[in-house]
Structure 1
Amino acid sequence: MNWKVCLAILTCNVVFMSSSYTMLVPFLPMYLTNELGVDAASVNIWSGIVFSSTFFVSAIMAPIWGKMADHRGKRLMAIRASFLLSISYFLGGIVTSPLQLTFMRMFQGFSSGLWPMELAIMTIYAPPKKLGICLGIMQGALTAGGIIGPLFGGVLAEFFGMRMSFFLAAAALFLNFVVLVFFIKEPPTDNAPAVKPVAAEEKGVSLWKIPIIRHMLICSALVQVVILLVQPIMTTYISHLAGQMDNLIFISGLVFSLGGFASAITAPLWGRFGQHHGFFKSMRYALILAGICSIIQSLPTELYTFAASQFAVGLFFSGIFPSINAILAEHTDAKTKGRVFGLLFSAQQVGAMTGPIIGGLIATFLGMKYVFFVAGFILLGISRTIRRKKRQSLEAA
């Protein structure tokens, strides 16, 4: 299969997948109160249960689906994920109680794995010299879907109700299922990678015990912690800076999305930079610059300067995950990519569960601006660790 055709198809799939998810998730508290009858005193508790249930189940299942992908086929696992996710969204549109919604979200976590499988497929089809730009484009598509989703979901919820959003998301994921069945072929397992891969089966050890893979998984989890440290308090912090400004909800959403706009634009550029200068270097630069900008975010006392810093964070943050993905792809063969990207997704889910808890504690006891301080220092700490561990990992591999 031609890699350009594969990239075009998977990029569209990723946009559908990401936008379907994000046009629903921000509005789940509203769905609980308006459609499922949860009272104001209980909505925060139910929101936490509904959100975390998916992360918990998907963190358990991701490595299992990844292992099955290496044995049964990555395309088959992508087809499975698309079909089951479409069912989960449909069920979300017909639930009548918060407990049913929780079970639906648990089933959604069980069904997950589409993103890591599409990454695995693309890393096999992509020519070694085009790996960075391919992963950058897919990361940009993921971010673009994250921008489109809330905007589209808000309009749908306003005019048709949130149940229609669930049904539309189900249709989008079913379209992904059809496209994967008829237009994507199972990638070959004998493609020669750009760098000599680490094959766990040859060394007789688990993937976790291979230093370069372990370090990338830990880094990915920590970066996801940083994302979820900041996201839950972002709109509240923006509202605090905006004061009595008119159209506060619209302004908050716009400022929040600035980072996503910047990331969608620059993710392919970071991929190209990593391809030419090395993915370890692009990862370190992105971590350092994103860390500095995160710390700067705690300083503005006016909304406009905070908005500029939010845009700047997006410019540099978009270089982190494509670099991690490319490093893992370069140092694993086609027969282990399913497990590797399954573990990567699992690590990110663990970070997603941990981040909001830490962020909430920091915001409660120290103040919201210190969340940005902590996020920035974590990113800078990761960059320093990466620099020290790079040589050790490559030598051990």
Structure 2
Amino acid sequence: MNWKVVLAILSCNIVFMSASYTMLIPFLPMYLIRELGVDPASVNIWSGVVFSATFAVSAVMAPIWGRLSDKKGKKLMAIRASLLLSISYFLGGIVTTPMQLVFMRMFQGFAAGLWPMELAIMTLYAPRQKMGICLGIMQGVMTAGGIIGPLFGGILAELFGMRMSFYLASAALFLNCLVFIFVIKEPPEEDVSAKPIKNKSAENAQGLLKIPLLRNMLIYAAFVQMVILILQPILTTYISSMAQHIDKLVLVSGLVFSLSGFASAISAPLWGRFGQHNGFFTSFSWALITAGICMIFQALPNNLYLFAASQFVVGLFFAGINPSINAILAENTDSHTRGRIFGLMFSAQQIGAMVGPILGGIIATFIGIKFVFIVSGVILIAISLISRKHRREYVQI
């Protein structure tokens, strides 16, 4: 298949996948109260359990699915993930108790793994000189889907009830499944001798983790995801505190919150192009340090409009981090280990996603909400400096 056709098809699939997820997750507390009869006083506890259940299971399963994809094929694992995710969303629409929703989310964690398979398939189809652009576009459409989802989910909830969102998400993932079955072909195998990391040096997950470049990139991916989830729980509250005298507070908060996503959707393909021409390690390092500096400055504004501008700027720079990690991993693995490494990356991100909200809540409660931005920025700058220090290890693999 032509790589441009594959990119176009996978981009549509990613929009469906991302929008299906985000049109449900922000509304889970409301779903628990309105549909499942949870007492408002205990909804925060149930929301935390429901939210984290998927991360806990998917962190364990992602490397297993990645290894199977290297043995049985990336296409088969993409079909598996799409079908099981479709079933999980359908189950979410028919649950009647909060505990059933927890089990549904655990099953969703078991089913997860579509995003790393999308990445693995695209990196095998993309020409080497177009890798950065392809991954940048995929990250951009992933972010765009994340912006579309909450808006669409809110409209559906108002018009048809919240259960309809689950059924629509189920249909979207089933459509993705059909596309993988009938349209996408199994990606071609690569010449392993052309890759810096040979298949024989990474026969299992433990072997991959012994390679400095891969191990460190997975650690960086976990910390980056942790930073994202440190901010998410407190961001809307922080915005609301600055916009308390403005009409339509919820709408304004949502718009400011989404500015970073809009910026990321715009700039992610540009970061991919930059990395393609200047090296993905360079784009990774610069994206980290610029995003970190901008996050620290986010702690300064007490004015909503200045904060909104800073939120947009952070999104412009943050968008370069994950595509660069993905490209570095793809450049240094062959088709026989690509599924495993992206599975491990997804697992690392799930661990970061579990730690982030807890750390953010602790910092905001005991030190102050502004320090959440400072700590997040310092973490990103530290990753950039540490990765530069260890760069010599990467060229010696």
Alignment of 1:2-151 (within 5 A): 2-151=2-151
Report the equivalent of 1:318.
319
Q: Does 1:274 align with 2:278?
A: no
Paired letter, 2:295: S
Q: Distance in 2 between matches of 1:119 and 1:271?
A: 14
Contact 1:238 1:303 in 2 (8 A): yes
CA displacement, residues 247-279 of structure 1 (integer Å, 9 cap, x when unaligned)? 000000000000000000000000000000000
Paired letter, 2:288: L
Q: Compute the displacement of 1:196 (Å).
A: 2.7
Question: What is the CA RMSD across the aligned residues, in angstroms?
Answer: 1.1
Paired letter, 2:346: F
Q: Distance in 1 between matches of 2:349 and 2:137?
A: 20
Contact 1:200 1:206 in 2 (8 A): no
Paired letter, 2:116: P
Paired letter, 2:326: N
Q: Compute the displacement of 1:203 (Å).
A: 6.0
Q: Distance in 2 between matches of 1:202 and 1:301?
A: 53
In structure 1, the residue corresponding to 2:235 is in which secondary structure? helix
Paired letter, 1:331: N
CA displacement, residues 120-151 of structure 1 (integer Å, 9 cap, x when unaligned)? 00000000000000000000010000000011
Q: Distance in 1 between matches of 2:346 and 2:278?
A: 26
CA displacement, residues 205-245 of structure 1 (integer Å, 9 cap, x when unaligned)? 61011110001000000000000000000100000011221
Report the equivalent of 2:360.
359
Contact 1:124 1:191 in 2 (8 A): no
CA displacement, residues 47-81 of structure 1 (integer Å, 9 cap, x when unaligned)? 01000000000000000000000000000000000
Contact 2:199 2:334 in 1 (8 A): no
Larger mean Cα displacement after TM superposition, 202-211 or 3-12:
202-211
Q: Compute the displacement of 1:189 (Å).
A: 1.5
Contact 1:86 1:173 in 2 (8 A): yes
Contact 1:15 1:141 in 2 (8 A): yes
Report the equivalent of 1:230.
231
Report the equivalent of 2:257.
256
Paired letter, 1:77: M
Q: Distance in 1 between matches of 2:217 and 2:4?
A: 27
In structure 2, the residue corresponding to 1:101 is in which secondary structure? helix
Q: Distance in 1 between matches of 2:66 and 2:202?
A: 19
Report the equivalent of 1:166.
166
Q: Compute the displacement of 1:281 (Å).
A: 0.4
Report the equivalent of 1:152.
152
Q: Distance in 2 between matches of 1:175 and 1:149?
A: 17
Contact 1:259 1:311 in 2 (8 A): yes
In structure 1, the residue corresponding to 2:190 is in which secondary structure? coil
Q: Distance in 1 between matches of 2:33 and 2:395?
A: 52
Alignment of 1:373-392 (within 5 A): 373-392=374-393
Contact 2:147 2:262 in 1 (8 A): yes
Q: Compute the displacement of 1:191 (Å).
A: 4.8
Q: Compute the displacement of 1:161 (Å).
A: 1.1
**Tell me, which stretches of 5 or more residues in structure 2 are unaligned?**
none
Report the equivalent of 2:196.
197
Q: Distance in 2 between matches of 1:203 and 1:71?
A: 14
Q: Distance in 2 between matches of 1:191 and 1:245?
A: 60
Paired letter, 1:290: A
Q: Distance in 2 between matches of 1:156 and 1:292?
A: 38
TM-score (norm 1): 0.98
TM-score (norm 2): 0.98
Report the equivalent of 1:177.
177
In structure 2, the residue corresponding to 1:273 is in which secondary structure? helix
CA displacement, residues 16-63 of structure 1 (integer Å, 9 cap, x when unaligned)? 000000000000000000110000111011001000000000000000
Paired letter, 2:249: L
Paired letter, 2:42: S
Paired letter, 2:98: P
Report the equivalent of 2:297.
296
Query: Identity percentage over the alignment?
Result: 70
Residues 191 and 256 (structure 1 numbering): CA distance in 2 closer, same or farther, change over 3 Å?
Answer: farther
Q: Compute the displacement of 1:112 (Å).
A: 0.3
Larger mean Cα displacement after TM superposition, 25-34 or 152-161:
152-161
Q: How many residues align?
A: 395
Q: Compute the displacement of 1:200 (Å).
A: 4.7
Report the equivalent of 2:213.
212
CA displacement, residues 318-365 of structure 1 (integer Å, 9 cap, x when unaligned)? 000000000000000011000000000000000000000000000000
Q: Compute the displacement of 1:202 (Å).
A: 3.6
In structure 1, the residue corresponding to 2:317 is in which secondary structure? helix
Q: Compute the displacement of 1:192 (Å).
A: 6.4
In structure 1, the residue corresponding to 2:37 is in which secondary structure? coil
Q: Distance in 1 between matches of 2:253 and 2:202?
A: 51
Contact 2:199 2:336 in 1 (8 A): no
- Runs of 4 or more above 2 Å deviation: 190-193, 199-205
Q: Distance in 2 between matches of 1:303 and 1:83?
A: 43
In structure 2, the residue corresponding to 1:245 is in which secondary structure? coil
